[in-house]
Structure 1
Amino acid sequence: MRPMEAVRPRVSYSDLERAPEDGRRYELYDGAMFVVPSPLVMHQRATRELLLALNDYSGAHGGEVLISPIDIVFTEYDVLQPDLVFFHQARVSLIAPDRPIRVPPDLAVEVLSPSTAATDRGKKMQVFARFGVQEYWIVDPKAQTMEVYKLESDAFILRQLAGVTDVLGSPTLEGFECRVARIFPSGTSTESP
């Protein structure tokens, strides 16, 4: 006889919307609810610089970049809060300014933190692929690297691993270039030079 296991109720986005505000951020993976921890300073610095770089790109090429916290509702039971998302100009009209986003972004970006790295590289990446996010960047402030993944068929393929001496490109954002050193301002890394 197997020991009794606790059954967790499946949580929906509607459940989250009805719940009293408690100051926490949540993500849903197939109805399982997870608290999103607050980011560290090095995470926020990298996120800020990426926001500025993507904002420069959208100013020149159109499109919209949005920053967390913002819910991307893939299904009622799969709701994520990527650090940054980008929508091409042709798809911006699909975003209602007064409702949750229910279409996959063209690009999702996650900046790693010690507490989120396994999720960002695992189940979050799988959800992005399953729902058709075309490109996924993983930013590692500690190692000062950026990984660019492109969706091919139903899986992400690493297209670029860029370090601080490299220029980041994008298969989805035509003409996008950014020096990786810009993303990691001095003092971002906790490693010795």
Structure 2
Amino acid sequence: MEANKPVTVNEPEAEYQLYSYSDYLTWQFDEVVELIRGKIFKKAAAAPKRIHQRISLKLATKFYTFLEGEKCHVYEAPFDVRFPKTSNEDSQIFDVVQPDICVICDLKKLDDRGCLGAPDLIVEILSPSNNETELRYKFDLYESQGVKEYWIVSPENQTFTINTLIDQRYVTSRMMTSGDVVESAVIKGFSLNLKSFFEGID
């Protein structure tokens, strides 16, 4: 591995090498890694904070309960989402992410390795180690790949921001917090009262 050690995004631009899903499948990192435009993004080796996990589990459970019996499926990380561009071949896929939560309604996109193509809805829960990735790189990736709704949750501030794809561009909501009700434009009928949602999460 050392002889062909993958570079990460914090190394000089000149040293960048493009990696594909084929490479990704061979790696054995202690950290969670994702590929965005062929570049490696490493998440922290340590487990996410407890509050991150509490929010993820509670929100995924609410989606699961709401969608039970429906055609849509909800998944939590670790769960690979691959975004093909010109080919579905592993060696030609350069974007592979592990969203905290994703909802897929086109079940033909699902296979034994995860999701091939854009989920209908993605939720990313921010942490100190991944804020820049979520707010900059993933926003652009999800918008360009046609993810219909992209939620960003801040555990520290107890806020939600919803990005809704309209005419191939994201329209961003105001920052919502306790007292607001989050509604999904993609998962019809799903709503979340943030005051009750964040109660008991600390």
TM-score by length of 2: 0.82
Structure 1 consecutive aligned stretches of length 4 or more whose deviation exceeds 4 Å: none
Instruction: Identify the residue that residue 61 of structure 2 maps to in structure 1.
Output: 52
- Does 1:72 pair with 2:81? yes
**Unaligned runs of at least 5 residues, structure 2:** 1-11, 85-92
- Does 1:12 pair with 2:20? yes
1:128 to 132, 142, 150: 142
- Does 1:83 pair with 2:100? yes
Alpha-carbon contact 1:74-1:104 (below 8 Å) kept: yes
Mapped to 2, the partners of 1:176 and 1:160 lie a distance apart of 19
Quote the offset at 1:118 in angstroms.
Answer: 1.7
**Unaligned runs of at least 5 residues, structure 1:** 189-193
Aligned-CA RMSD value: 1.9
Mapped to 2, the partners of 1:86 and 1:107 lie a distance apart of 5
| Residues 92, 182 of structure 1: alpha-carbon distance in 2 compared, 3 angstrom cutoff | farther
| Residues 175, 32 of structure 1: alpha-carbon distance in 2 compared, 3 angstrom cutoff | same
1:93 to 94, 108, 111: 108
- Does 1:163 pair with 2:163? no
Quote the offset at 1:58 in angstroms.
Answer: 0.8
2:160 to 146, 152, 162: 146
Mapped to 1, the partners of 2:113 and 2:134 lie a distance apart of 25
Alpha-carbon contact 1:45-1:184 (below 8 Å) kept: no
| Residues 103, 6 of structure 1: alpha-carbon distance in 2 compared, 3 angstrom cutoff | closer
Equivalent residue pairs, number? 181
TM-score by length of 1: 0.86
